[in-house]
Amino acid sequence: MSKDIKIKRGLDIKLVGEAEKVVSNAPKSKTYTIKPSDLHLVTPKMMFKEGGTFNAGDPIFYSKSDETIKFVSPVSGILKEIKRGAKRVITHIVIEADGKDTYADYGKMDPATANAEQIKQRLLSSGLWPFIKQRPYDIIADTDEEPRDIFISGYNSGPLAPDLELVLKGKKAQLQAAVTALSKLTEGAVHIGVPKGVNSVFSDLNDAVLHGVSGPHPSGNVGTQINKVGPVNKGETVWTISAADLVIIGEHLLTGKFNPERIIAVSGSCIEKPKYYRTTLGSEIATFLYDAGLKDEKARLVSGNVLTGERVAPDGNLGYYHNEFVAIPEGDDYEFFGWNKPVFNKISPTRALTFSWLSPNKKYDLDTNTNGEHRAFVVTGIYEEVFPLDIFPLQLLKACMVEDLDAMEQMGMYEVAPEDFALTEFICISKQPHQAIIRKGLDLMQKEIG
């Protein structure tokens, strides 16, 4: 039942500073940080006190709402610090690596012969479960729900996206193991969206349904692919897993070790030598940033994609799910008559004295300036041009803003994640924070409806 996914509505954002296709080893990080804010809605219950020691792969905390969901340490070391914020909420869990690289051994597991329950228990106990996200709500998967389908995007269409072929090179065995294991956890299928007409690392995987994807961004977003293959209905759950996290799951099954190694694209116009780095989940960004070189002291550092990622400080760490790191110029400056001059060097969805439509393949050096102030929604019909889902984006956003749960439910809130609204946020003339609005709406629904 493979079907191709072809989308027309969208926008490819081309930026300067694309990563060169070379993989370097980043220096080993001294400390590794896990931020519970990356693990949306998880309240951590610590299993160690500060000073406790553990191997890589040993559980260090679990989720307060579901004790079976364990989170493991990416490296062997000691628990250096638990930073807390307001109301003693844990904000950072800092682990100091001991450099010994000892691993907790969970033993190999053959996904072809193991049954569903064994696989599920393994994912939970060994800290792999948090890599599985669910829709609705875009949170770590509920352990009680069986997913209707599992979706994986094997194609990243975003700006400055890492080349998955490079990142996943030579990882076929790991991918196959993970896909086979996951296919046992669902009644439906494991759907993988791959670039159409390209021979990819996913091409001849077993136990999966491949879909050839074509079209502009957000065709590579898993949300787009779900919407085209089988949208989430009320009462249903689907899982999504990023391709890079599949490798970690697969490797664990094959070797019994938790090895959260990531090959990340370090890119953006503020990076001197943009390229790929082999690093580990939670590493200090300084480890690779120093080598890649930062052109501008004032650059915006983003862990993750430039459309959806999170701002980090120079002494910050790579986020839990992030496979990219981007540095772009801060735009905290005024521009004289910036609102009525003809503009050639910025991207625009319109042609209102803006000329990006003339050169669709030009690469732009965009900064973080909002190019205008926050306003009420005024212009209509423009989000639809970059929003391929069968949903009314403006109406759904408004329903979220007024917290109209019925309308949200009816208009497709179960199907979306904040990242699906990254492009509409990018082009928003009223400069509204779409992703934050959707996140808030999802959280409200999760709380009220469950």
Interface with another protein in residues 314-353 (CB under 8 A):
326, 328, 330-340, 343, 346-353
Q: Which residue lies nearer to another protein by CB, 225 or 280?
A: 225
Q: At 202, which amino acid appears?
A: F
Q: Which residue lies nearer to another protein by CB, 26 or 438?
A: 438
**Shortest distance in whole angstroms from residue 234 CB to another protein:** 6
By three-state DSSP, how is residue 90 classified? strand
By three-state DSSP, how is residue 210 classified? strand
The residues facing 314 across adjacent strands are: none
Strands of the sheet with 70-72, listed across from one edge: 44-46, 59-63, 70-72
113 lies in the site for another protein, by CB under 8 A? no
378 lies in the site for another protein, by CB under 8 A? yes
Sign of the torsion formed by the C-alpha atoms of 57, 58, 64 and 68: positive
Spatial distance between the Cα atoms of 348 and 299, rounded to a whole number of angstroms: 22
By three-state DSSP, how is residue 243 classified? helix
On the 0-12 / 13-18 / 19+ scale of CB atoms within 10 A, 254 is middle
The position carrying tokens 């790579």 is: 318
By three-state DSSP, how is residue 174 classified? helix
Q: Which residue lies nearer to another protein by CB, 274 or 418?
A: 418
Q: Which residue lies nearer to another protein by CB, 30 or 363?
A: 363
**Shortest distance in whole angstroms from residue 314 CB to another protein:** 16
**Shortest distance in whole angstroms from residue 44 CB to another protein:** 21
- Identify the CA nearest to 394 among candidates 379, 406, 404: 379
**Shortest distance in whole angstroms from residue 177 CB to another protein:** 31
**Shortest distance in whole angstroms from residue 107 CB to another protein:** 39
Please say whether the beta carbons of 268 and 328 come within 8 A.
Answer: yes
Q: Which residue lies nearer to another protein by CB, 181 or 437?
A: 437
Please say whether the beta carbons of 68 and 143 come within 8 A.
Answer: yes
The residues facing 194 across adjacent strands are: 212
Q: Which residues of 92-106 are buried (b: 16+ CB within 10 A; e: fewer)?
A: bbbbbbeeeeebbeb
Interface with another protein in residues 416-435 (CB under 8 A):
418, 422, 425-431, 433-435
Site string for another protein, 387-406 (x = CB under 8 A): ---xxx-xx-----------
Selected binder of another protein within 369, 404, 444, 449 (CB under 8 A): 369
Q: Which residue lies nearer to another protein by CB, 95 or 389?
A: 389
Spatial distance between the Cα atoms of 428 and 130, rounded to a whole number of angstroms: 32
**Shortest distance in whole angstroms from residue 317 CB to another protein:** 16
13 lies in the site for another protein, by CB under 8 A? yes
Q: Are strands 190-195 and 209-214 parallel, antiparallel or unpaired?
A: parallel
Q: Are strands 300-303 and 310-311 parallel, antiparallel or unpaired?
A: antiparallel
Tokens of 252: 């664990």
Q: Which residue lies nearer to another protein by CB, 78 or 391?
A: 391
Q: Which residue lies nearer to another protein by CB, 109 or 285?
A: 285
436 lies in the site for another protein, by CB under 8 A? yes
Site string for another protein, 215-254 (x = CB under 8 A): ----------------x-xxxx------------------
Selected binder of another protein within 107, 293, 314, 372 (CB under 8 A): 372
1 lies in the site for another protein, by CB under 8 A? no
Q: Which residue lies nearer to another protein by CB, 144 or 333?
A: 333
169 lies in the site for another protein, by CB under 8 A? no
12 lies in the site for another protein, by CB under 8 A? no
**Shortest distance in whole angstroms from residue 270 CB to another protein:** 12
Tokens of 195: 């670039």
Element containing residue 177 per DSSP (H, E): helix 172-183
Spatial distance between the Cα atoms of 224 and 208, rounded to a whole number of angstroms: 18
Interface with another protein in residues 28-47 (CB under 8 A):
none
Interface with another protein in residues 290-319 (CB under 8 A):
300, 302, 306-311
